[in-house]
Amino acid sequence: MTHPALPRFPYGSVYFRKSNPPQEDWERDYSVAAEDGMNIFRHWFLWGGIEIAPGLFDWEEYDRQFDLAAANGIKTIIAEMLTVAPEWAYRSHAHARLETVDGLQLNSRMHGSCAIGGAPGLCLDNEDFKSLADRFITELVNRYKDHPGMGGYDVWNEVNYAPNVCYCEGTQQKFREWLKIKYGDLRTLGRAWRRYSFSEWEDVTAPRVHAPYPDTLDWLQFRIDNAYRLMGERVALIRRLDPNHPITGHGIAAALTKTASGGSDDWRAAAEVESYGLTWGSSRHGDEPWKQFHAMDLVRAASRGKPFWHAETYAGPLWMQPQVIGKPRNEGRIASVEDIRFWDFTSFMLGATGMLYLRWRPLLDGPLFGAFGGYGMDGSRTPRSEMVSKVGRWATDSAQEKLWQSRPVQGEVGIVFNPETQLFLYAQQGKVDFYSRSAEGAYQGFFDNNIQADWVHIDHIDEYDFLYLPIPVMLSAANAEKLKAWVAAGGTLIAEGCPGYWGDGAHVGQVQPNLGLDALFGAQESYVEFVPDLLDDLRFNLSGTQVWGGIFLQAYTPTTGTPVGWYADGQVAAVDHTYGKGRTRLIGTMAGAGHGAHPSDNSAPFYADLLDFAGKSQHITSTDPRIKARLHTGDGGVYLWVSNPTRQDRPVRLVLSESFASFASSETLWGADAEASGRTVTLIAPARDVTVLKLT
Is residue 598 domain-shared with residue 475, that is, in the same domain? yes
Of 573, 594, 613, the position where a domain reaches its end is 613
Is residue 481 domain-shared with residue 464, that is, in the same domain? yes
The pLDDT, as a whole number, for residue 534 is 96
Q: Would you tell me how many other CB atoms lie within 10 Å of the CB of residue 696?
A: 11
Kind of pairing, strands 492-495 and 51-53?
unpaired
Of 613, 643, 671, the position where a domain reaches its end is 613
The pLDDT, as a whole number, for residue 19 is 84
Residue 4 lies in a domain: no
What type of residue is 392? G
User: What CATH number does the domain containing 238 carry?
Assistant: 3.20.20.80
CA distances from 421 to 221, 424, 426, 476 (A): 12, 5, 9, 9
Separation CA 425–CA 530 (nearest Å): 13
Residue 407 lies in a domain: no
Residue 158 lies in a domain: yes
Evaluate whether 206 touches 167 at the Cβ level (below 8 Å): yes
Separation CA 208–CA 231 (nearest Å): 25
Residues pairing with 574 in the sheet = 565, 587
Residue 632 lies in a domain: yes
Evaluate whether 372 touches 362 at the Cβ level (below 8 Å): yes
**What is the number of structural domains in the chain?**
3
Evaluate whether 528 touches 555 at the Cβ level (below 8 Å): yes
Separation CA 240–CA 222 (nearest Å): 26
The pLDDT, as a whole number, for residue 287 is 78
> In 3D, which of 234, 324, 309 has the Cα closest to residue 266?
309
Evaluate whether 474 touches 424 at the Cβ level (below 8 Å): yes
Separation CA 663–CA 644 (nearest Å): 23
Separation CA 614–CA 231 (nearest Å): 40
Is residue 96 domain-shared with residue 33, that is, in the same domain? yes
> In 3D, which of 282, 439, 394, 405 has the Cα closest to residue 346?
282
Is residue 657 domain-shared with residue 608, that is, in the same domain? no
Is residue 504 domain-shared with residue 534, that is, in the same domain? yes
> In 3D, which of 49, 230, 79 has the Cα closest to residue 158?
79
Is residue 332 domain-shared with residue 475, that is, in the same domain? no
Question: What residues make up the domain containing 451?
Answer: 413-613
The pLDDT, as a whole number, for residue 2 is 80
Greatest Cα pair distance in the chain: 77
Separation CA 482–CA 472 (nearest Å): 14
Is residue 355 domain-shared with residue 395, that is, in the same domain? yes
Separation CA 109–CA 112 (nearest Å): 9
The pLDDT, as a whole number, for residue 327 is 73
Evaluate whether 290 touches 444 at the Cβ level (below 8 Å): yes
User: What CATH number does the domain containing 668 carry?
Assistant: 2.60.40.1180
Is residue 382 domain-shared with residue 503, that is, in the same domain? no
Q: Note the pTM of the prediction, 2 decimals.
A: 0.97
**CA-based torsion, 232, 237, 240, 243: positive or negative:** negative
Of 400, 434, 451, the position where a domain reaches its end is 400
User: What CATH number does the domain containing 590 carry?
Assistant: 3.40.50.880
CA distances from 195 to 2, 108, 177, 207, 508 (A): 52, 37, 18, 12, 19
Is residue 514 domain-shared with residue 649, that is, in the same domain? no
Residue 296 lies in a domain: yes
**482 burial type by CB count under 10 A (0-12 exposed, 13-18 middle, 19+ buried):** middle
Residue 221 lies in a domain: no
Residue 464 lies in a domain: yes
Provide the H-helix boundaries in 194-305: 214-241, 255-262, 266-270, 282-285, 289-303
Instruction: Divide the 696 residues of the chain into consecutive groups of 10 and give the mean pLDDT of each group.
Output: 90 95 97 98 98 98 98 98 98 98 96 94 98 98 98 98 96 98 97 97 97 98 98 98 98 97 98 97 82 97 97 88 71 85 98 97 90 94 98 98 97 97 97 97 96 98 98 98 98 98 96 98 98 96 93 98 97 98 98 93 86 96 97 97 97 96 95 96 98 97
Evaluate whether 270 touches 231 at the Cβ level (below 8 Å): no
Separation CA 442–CA 294 (nearest Å): 11
Is residue 455 domain-shared with residue 315, that is, in the same domain? no
Q: Please give the span between the terminal C-alpha atoms of the chain, in angstroms, as a whole number.
A: 24
**476 burial type by CB count under 10 A (0-12 exposed, 13-18 middle, 19+ buried):** middle
Is residue 77 domain-shared with residue 104, that is, in the same domain? yes
Residue 285 is classified by DSSP as: H
What type of residue is 6? L
Provide the H-helix boundaries in 430-529: 433-447, 477-488, 517-521
The pLDDT, as a whole number, for residue 323 is 67
What is the H or E stretch that residue 454 is in? strand 453-457
Is residue 40 domain-shared with residue 117, that is, in the same domain? yes
What is the H or E stretch that residue 155 is in? strand 150-155
Residue 648 lies in a domain: yes
